[in-house]
Structure 1
């Protein structure tokens, strides 16, 4: 198919202290999260001047994507829209319409299936199109958790993190992957029943396996982070900080943490890993190194352009994993019946 625009669609984040609570209210609207919990989370933003790094991270990625498109001779303007904060996706789609864009591709800053990782982006697309008269057609690009360029970027980041550890502790360092936790019930609901559901956690586990092997590790752990919601609701576990304790109890004195579930160093990565997990490791005498996220790696922009070319030029998708990776469809409709479940 042809396209005359690319929408870079992300989560969004506050860029001023006055925006923090309104942003958190947007994120949690309709979920019954107590205000006390929002105020607790807002304190995390206070450590960074009330600013989330996610928008700036995304702008840098967009700059790299624009350069990569130009290098490939592809004339495709790139637009930036968010789910929860400015620039809101509805406003961006309106601007695309005003610029004469009639058919655009959508790159989501999530590599995964599942409700939050995929279906919610389809909902964002549908909501934006319904809010804009004569909106362009929007085609969400496929899930890319196992793309060779993403796996290679994570593998190199892991090797660089190992080099940050004290020399005498590197050989015994434990490799630990993290991704955003979700309710267990939501995970089980995602994915065609014939494949047993749990599409998100299976894809994350497969990405971790691929990255560990590419980095030269025979073994690794997969843990979770950033859980929220009422404590009586089971979420994917163990939590990263609890896992630091477990490793220390086993006598492990060094660890490398790879945030395989994240594209960029947004607030959840730098708070949960660079602050809470790192501080707990220091308290227990465990050397701690954190692998970089792939957004700043030149290969990430190359990945985006390759996904674009899969749709516009029909080049074969490159995949390394054994779990499903569903493709894109027009206008925000789910790409497979039962693929990503619901809330």
Structure 2
């Protein structure tokens, strides 16, 4: 049996008050030469919601739900871009005597920024902490895990129940540069996950769109953008008839981010209203009990003498140990989530 001393929940981070917004965005965009006026523009997205991203609060709620569920390991919380910073968390783990830990990254899909970069973050933080820092094993991505599929199927059904018959379902995820997408399974996994969820909902039709694009316009990113998708829906009687409404499902986000709030709940919703479309944004997995069970099962896989990895679809469970060339950055810079566009 593999022994571990703790679980590290590792995430992106987000500001928790107006004074945090600009320092947070400066951390996210460090080394990108983003003009100051652009940061101020993006900062307004946060100030529209009181300067608070929901991501830290949702991660703390997930940790509390895990503890209340009888989780077998101590749980630590670290972020890439805001407090609690990963290096500080690993320093605390070292002081607490943690020698070997599992890592749950709050991303269900494989990509540079959603997987490999987090592994790079851990390596840099351990180097900064110095001798005696714990060793870490990352839990696999879970886009086709039956618990994740069940959670998201429930969210889709809840959204459709609020919409007229004939409404469309569109899954969304953070766009990434096409050069980066060619070096990972991100888009394939998104389509597999959406297909599994749609099947669980008995949907014969669904679509995939992207959101939160950043970077120079000459660099091609995954498309269509969610706003362009909404504009493309039929609004008058024709061969297929007018689409009366749309359920937007933020599949690529495990919990609410500022991107979900601003890009979907604000921008996409307002556009849908202008177009005369009924609009419902489905919930994220968040702290759903099935999400808590999912993390339990991923830990059991890594600690059991006879693990039974759970996965739906033909691709099976993803690898536990990432290959050397897995999720390379590819062409262009990695995306800067949380609306640091």
Residue 297 of structure 1: CA displacement? 1.0
2:278 to 282, 287, 293: 287
Q: In the alignment, which residue of structure 2 is the partner of 1:131?
A: 128
Q: In the alignment, which residue of structure 1 is the partner of 2:67?
A: 66
Q: In the alignment, which residue of structure 1 is the partner of 2:167?
A: 173
2:204 to 218, 227, 243: 218
Residue 339 of structure 1: CA displacement? 1.8
Deviation string, structure 1 residues 21-65 (Cα, Å, up to 9, x no partner): 111111111223222222111110011111111100100011111
Q: In the alignment, which residue of structure 2 is the partner of 1:275?
A: 266
Between Structure 1 and Structure 2, how many residues are aligned? 322
| TM-score, with structure 2 as normaliser | 0.91
Deviation string, structure 1 residues 72-100 (Cα, Å, up to 9, x no partner): xx2x1000000000000100011011111
Contact 2:24–2:82, Cα closer than 8 Å, also in 1: yes
Residue 68 of structure 1: CA displacement? 2.3
Contact 1:33–1:229, Cα closer than 8 Å, also in 2: no
Deviation string, structure 1 residues 113-141 (Cα, Å, up to 9, x no partner): 12011101101110111111210111111
Q: For 2:214 and 2:277, how far apart are their aligned partners in 1?
A: 26
Residue 324 of structure 1: CA displacement? 6.7
Q: Unaligned stretches of 5+ in structure 1? A: 191-198, 330-334
The answer to whether residue 4 in structure 2 is matched with residue 3 in structure 1 is: yes
Question: What does 1:83-98 correspond to in 2, within 5 Å?
Answer: 83-98=80-95
Q: For 1:26 and 1:262, how far apart are their aligned partners in 2?
A: 21
| TM-score, with structure 1 as normaliser | 0.91
> Secondary structure of 1:295's match?
coil
1:147 to 142, 145, 148: 145
> Secondary structure of 1:161's match?
helix
> Secondary structure of 1:294's match?
coil
2:314 to 317, 322, 330: 322
Q: For 1:233 and 1:31, how far apart are their aligned partners in 2?
A: 15
Residue 315 of structure 1: CA displacement? 2.1
Contact 1:248–1:284, Cα closer than 8 Å, also in 2: no
Q: For 1:322 and 1:31, how far apart are their aligned partners in 2?
A: 39
Residue 112 of structure 1: CA displacement? 1.2
After TM superposition, the runs of 4+ consecutive aligned structure 1 residues lying more than 3 A away are: 321-326
Contact 2:310–2:317, Cα closer than 8 Å, also in 1: no
Q: Unaligned stretches of 5+ in structure 2? A: 237-241, 335-341
Contact 1:248–1:286, Cα closer than 8 Å, also in 2: no
The answer to whether residue 9 in structure 2 is matched with residue 12 in structure 1 is: no
Contact 1:202–1:323, Cα closer than 8 Å, also in 2: no
Q: In the alignment, which residue of structure 1 is the partner of 2:41?
A: 40
Q: In the alignment, which residue of structure 2 is the partner of 1:337?
A: 324
Are residues 173 and 274 of structure 1, via their aligned partners in 2, closer, same or farther at CA, if it must alter by over 3 Å?
A: same
Are residues 59 and 49 of structure 1, via their aligned partners in 2, closer, same or farther at CA, if it must alter by over 3 Å?
A: same
Are residues 113 and 285 of structure 1, via their aligned partners in 2, closer, same or farther at CA, if it must alter by over 3 Å?
A: same
Q: Which has the higher helix share?
A: 1
Residue 270 of structure 1: CA displacement? 1.2
Q: In the alignment, which residue of structure 1 is the partner of 2:232?
A: 246
> Secondary structure of 1:49's match?
coil
Are residues 164 and 249 of structure 1, via their aligned partners in 2, closer, same or farther at CA, if it must alter by over 3 Å?
A: closer
> Secondary structure of 1:7's match?
strand
CA RMSD of aligned residues (A): 1.3
> Bigger CA drift: 172-181 or 18-27?
18-27
Q: In the alignment, which residue of structure 2 is the partner of 1:193?
A: none
Residue 69 of structure 1: CA displacement? 3.4
Q: In the alignment, which residue of structure 2 is the partner of 1:332?
A: none
Residue 249 of structure 1: CA displacement? 4.4
Q: For 2:315 and 2:48, how far apart are their aligned partners in 1?
A: 38
Deviation string, structure 1 residues 262-304 (Cα, Å, up to 9, x no partner): 1011211111111111111011110011111001211101101
Q: In the alignment, which residue of structure 1 is the partner of 2:339?
A: none
